Amino acid sequence: MNFTAQTKISDIINYDKASIDAIASIAPPLKRLKNPILRKVMASRVSVNEAAKMGGCKVEDFARVLEPLGYKFENVDEQATSSSATKEERPDWLKAAPQSDVIIFDVRPIIEHGTDPLKEVMQKFKEVPAGKILCIINTFVPTPLIHLLQKDKAEASFVQNISDKEFHTYFLKKQKEAISTAAPVDKVVMHDAASFERICSLFTGDKRTAIDVRELEMPGPMQTILAELEALPAGHGLYIDHKRVPVFLLEELAEKDFAVHIYNIADGDVKMLIFKN
């Protein structure tokens, strides 16, 4: 099989399942592909070039581990094989933006303390005015976050590779949409205790299904939640006790007609309510 920097990881895996272990051996972040659920979510969305950025490696590394399996890499050049995005031209919307339009949010200290920064990122993006830009500074390319925000919140995104351990991801927030008679539905909402209790009060008695996935090993939580949602009737809510904010689940649900409400109490204690829009 021939592949390029733009080939989807799913195409490579479908050709030969042995490629899963080969790609996972390149860098620790790519070991997620060995998880069947995460592989389903990631592989069809991520190209070789994007996976290289996620792993902090180069496209040549993919060629190195895949060629012994019969793959052939095409169009190898400096731009395609480099994991750096610094040579990519900034999009017009970013070049034209004054510095005052760019809100910087460095999530590295949050990650260093062992906490998932999704709650803070979603809140920060909510505070960004329409048409302005949020820049997330991270130690890796936050590919799941990019897909999640671009579903219905961000107009566009751009990743700049500053170094092997520093990536700046820019999100252009959509302009305010035209006034509609229908109330807008936010697919992912982060709550405090009071607002989460209010949304939960809409689903009581036999209108609420409760599950606890805190003790399940991966990919058990995601499998259980998706199975419950598959059978969830309209007008019913799924209440979930989780130990973390499941970013890959949120990305998967972004393509479906579900509203996700999250109350992140503390590390190891996350409450969620999911229902069909």
Is the pLDDT assigned to residue 113 strictly greater than 60?
Answer: yes
Give the model's pLDDT for residue 256: 82
Phi, psi of 202 (to 5 degrees): -75, -15
CA 136/CA 153 separation, integer angstroms:
15
Per DSSP, 16 falls in state: -
Give the model's pLDDT for residue 267: 79
CATH code for residues 92-173 = 3.40.50.150
Q: What tokens appear for 111 in the block?
A: 């990650």
Give the model's pLDDT for residue 275: 95
Is the pLDDT assigned to residue 95 strictly greater than 80?
Answer: yes
Please report, as a single letter, which amino acid is at residue 100.
Answer: S
Give the model's pLDDT for residue 181: 39
CA 177/CA 172 separation, integer angstroms:
14
Q: What tokens appear for 189 in the block?
A: 């909402």
Give the global pTM: 0.58
Helices 118-127 and 143-152: crossing angle, nearest 10°? Answer: 40
In the chain, ranges of CATH 3.40.50.150 domains: 92-173
- For residue range 238-266, list pLDDT tens digits in order: 999 999 888 878 877 877 889 999 999 98
CA–chain centroid gap for 71, Å, is: 28
- For residue range 191-217, list pLDDT tens digits in order: 999 999 999 999 999 999 999 999 988
Between these two residues, 128 and 164, which has the higher pLDDT value?
Answer: 128
Is the pLDDT assigned to residue 22 strictly greater than 50?
Answer: yes
Give the model's pLDDT for residue 186: 63
Helix (H, G, I), strand (E, B) or coil at 257: coil
Q: Do strands 2-3 and 237-242 pair parallel, antiparallel, or not at all (unpaired)?
A: unpaired
In the chain, ranges of CATH 3.30.110 domains: 188-276
CATH topology of domain 188-276: Translation Initiation Factor IF3 (3.30.110)
CA 256/CA 135 separation, integer angstroms:
27
The pLDDT of 106-117, averaged and rounded, is: 82
Per DSSP, 124 falls in state: H
CATH topology of domain 2-81: SP0561-like (1.10.3910)
Is the pLDDT assigned to residue 271 strictly greater than 80?
Answer: yes
Is the pLDDT assigned to residue 117 strictly greater than 70?
Answer: yes
Cβ neighbours for 263, distance < 8 A, ≥ 6 positions apart? 190, 191, 192, 193, 196, 270, 271, 272
Round the average pLDDT of the chain to a whole number and report it.
Answer: 85
Identify the weakest region by mean pLDDT among 49-53, 132-136, 141-145, 193-197: 141-145
Per DSSP, 185 falls in state: -
Give the model's pLDDT for residue 254: 74
Give the model's pLDDT for residue 206: 94
Give the model's pLDDT for residue 85: 40
Is the pLDDT assigned to residue 182 strictly greater than 50?
Answer: no
- For residue range 34-85, list pLDDT tens digits in order: 877 667 767 777 889 888 877 878 899 999 999 999 999 997 554 444 444 4
